[in-house]
Chains A and B, each alone.
Chain A
Amino acid sequence: MRRQLQTMRKSLFDQGYLDEQFVQLEELQDDANPNFVEEVVTLYYRDSGRIILNIEQALERKPFDFNKLDAYMHQFKGSSSSIGAKKVKAESTLFREYCRSRNGEGCMRTFQQLKKEYATLRRKLEAYFQLARQAGPVETACRPK
Chain B
Amino acid sequence: MNSSSGKTYMSTSNSSAGWKAGDAAADQFPVGLRVLVVDDDPTCLMILEKMLRTCLYEVTKCNRAETALSMLRENKSGFDVVISDVHMPDMDGFKLLEHIGLEMDLPVIMMSADDGKHVVMKGVTHGACDYLIKPVRIEALKNIWQHVVRKRKNEWKDFEQSGSVEEGDRQLKQSEEADYSSSANEGNWKSSKRRKDDEDETDDRDDTSSLKKPRVVWSVELHQQFVAAVNQLGIDKAVPKKILELMNVPGLTRENVASHLQKYRLYLRRLSGVSQHPSNLNNSFMSPQEATFGPLSSLNGLDLQTLAATGQLPAQSLVTLQAAGLGRPTGKSGIPMPLVDQRNIFSFENPKLRFGDGQQHVNNNKQMNLLHGIPTTMEPKQLAGLHHGAQSMGNMNMQVASHGSQSSQNNPLLMQMAQPQVRGQMLNDTSLGHPPRLLSPMGQPILSNGIAANVSTRNGIQENIRAPSYNPVSQTSSMLNFPMNHAAELPGNSFPLGSTPGISSLTPKVAFQEDVNSDIKGSVGFLPSYDIFNDLNQHKPQNWELQNVGMTLDASQHSNSLQGNLNHAQSVLVQQGFPSGQVNGQNRSATVVSKAMFSSGDSTGHVNVQNGNQHLNSLLVDSTVRIKSETPTILYPDDFGQEDLMSALLKQQDAIAPAEHEFDFDGYSLDNIPV
* A13 on interface, CB distance cutoff 8 Å: no
Q: Give the number of residue pairs across the A-B interface with Cβ within 8 Å.
A: 63
Asked if B47 contacts A40 (CB within 8 A), the reply is: yes
Q: Tell me the bound Cα distance from A39 to B137 in angstroms.
A: 18
With A32-B3, A33-B50 as contacts: A47 and B41 at CB distance below 8 Å = yes
Asked if A82 contacts B1 (CB within 8 A), the reply is: no
CB-contacts of A2-40 with B (<8 A): 21, 24-25, 27-28, 32-33, 36, 39-40
Say which residue of A21, A36, A48, A74 sits within 8 Å of B50 (CB atoms). Answer: A36
Asked if A78 contacts B41 (CB within 8 A), the reply is: yes
Asked if A44 contacts B54 (CB within 8 A), the reply is: no
Asked if A28 contacts B47 (CB within 8 A), the reply is: yes
Nearest B residue to A43 by beta-carbon distance? B43
Asked if A81 contacts B47 (CB within 8 A), the reply is: no
With A32-B3, A33-B50, A74-B114 as contacts: A47 and B138 at CB distance below 8 Å = no
Give min CB distance, B35 to chain A, whole Å.
Answer: 16
Nearest A residue to B88 by beta-carbon distance? A75
Asked if B2 contacts A33 (CB within 8 A), the reply is: yes
Asked if B51 contacts A28 (CB within 8 A), the reply is: yes
Asked if A81 contacts B138 (CB within 8 A), the reply is: no
Interface digits, B84-105 against A, CB 8 Å rule (1 contact, 0 not)?
0001000000000000000000
Give min CB distance, A55 to chain B, whole Å.
Answer: 15
| Chain B neighbourhood of A21, CB < 8 A | 135, 137
Q: Tell me the bound Cα distance from A41 to B1 in angstroms.
A: 16
Asked if A82 contacts B44 (CB within 8 A), the reply is: yes
Asked if B2 contacts A47 (CB within 8 A), the reply is: no
From B43, B134, B137, name the one whose CB has the most chain A CB atoms within 10 angstroms.
B43
CB-contacts of A64-97 with B (<8 A): 71, 74-75, 77-79, 81-84
Interface digits, B119-137 against A, CB 8 Å rule (1 contact, 0 not)?
0000000000000001111
| Chain A neighbourhood of B54, CB < 8 A | 28
Nearest B residue to A77 by beta-carbon distance? B113
Say which residue of A24, A27, A47, A71 sits within 8 Å of B43 (CB atoms). Answer: A47
Say which residue of B2, B41, B112 sits within 8 Å of A79 (CB atoms). Answer: B41
With A28-B54, A75-B87, A82-B134 as contacts: A40 and B113 at CB distance below 8 Å = no
Give min CB distance, A137 to chain B, whole Å.
Answer: 14
Give min CB distance, B1 to chain A, whole Å.
Answer: 5
* B234 on interface, CB distance cutoff 8 Å: no
Number of interface residues of B (CB under 8 A): 21
Asked if B44 contacts A79 (CB within 8 A), the reply is: yes
Q: Tell me the bound Cα distance from A75 to B86 in angstroms.
A: 11
Q: Tell me the bound Cα distance from A44 to B42 in angstroms.
A: 8
| Chain A neighbourhood of B44, CB < 8 A | 78-79, 82
Asked if B46 contacts A40 (CB within 8 A), the reply is: yes
| Chain B neighbourhood of A74, CB < 8 A | 87, 113-114
Nearest A residue to B54 by beta-carbon distance? A28
| Chain B neighbourhood of A47, CB < 8 A | 41-43
Give min CB distance, B298 to chain A, whole Å.
Answer: 30
Say which residue of A33, A43, A44, A79 sits within 8 Å of B1 (CB atoms). Answer: A33
Give min CB distance, B54 to chain A, whole Å.
Answer: 6
Asked if B50 contacts A81 (CB within 8 A), the reply is: no
With A24-B138, A84-B135 as contacts: A71 and B87 at CB distance below 8 Å = yes
Say which residue of B42, B50, B87 sits within 8 Å of A28 (CB atoms). Answer: B50
Q: Tell me the bound Cα distance from A124 to B41 in angstroms.
A: 23
Q: Tell me the bound Cα distance from A39 to B47 in angstroms.
A: 10
Asked if B43 contacts A40 (CB within 8 A), the reply is: yes
User: Could you give 8 example pairs across A and B, Cβ below 8 Å?
Assistant: A24-B138, A32-B1, A36-B1, A40-B47, A47-B41, A78-B87, A81-B135, A83-B47
Chain A interface (Cβ within 8 Å of chain B)?
21, 24-25, 27-28, 32-33, 36, 39-40, 43-44, 47-48, 71, 74-75, 77-79, 81-84
Chain B interface (Cβ within 8 Å of chain A)?
1-3, 41-44, 46-47, 50-51, 54, 87, 112-114, 134-138
- Nearest first, the 7 A-B pairs at minimum CB distance are A78-B113, A82-B135, A81-B135, A44-B43, A21-B135, A79-B43, A28-B50
Supply 17 further A-B pairs (C-beta < 8 A) apart from A32-B2, A47-B41.
A21-B137, A24-B137, A28-B54, A33-B2, A36-B1, A36-B50, A40-B47, A48-B43, A74-B87, A74-B114, A75-B41, A78-B112, A78-B134, A79-B43, A82-B43, A82-B136, A83-B43
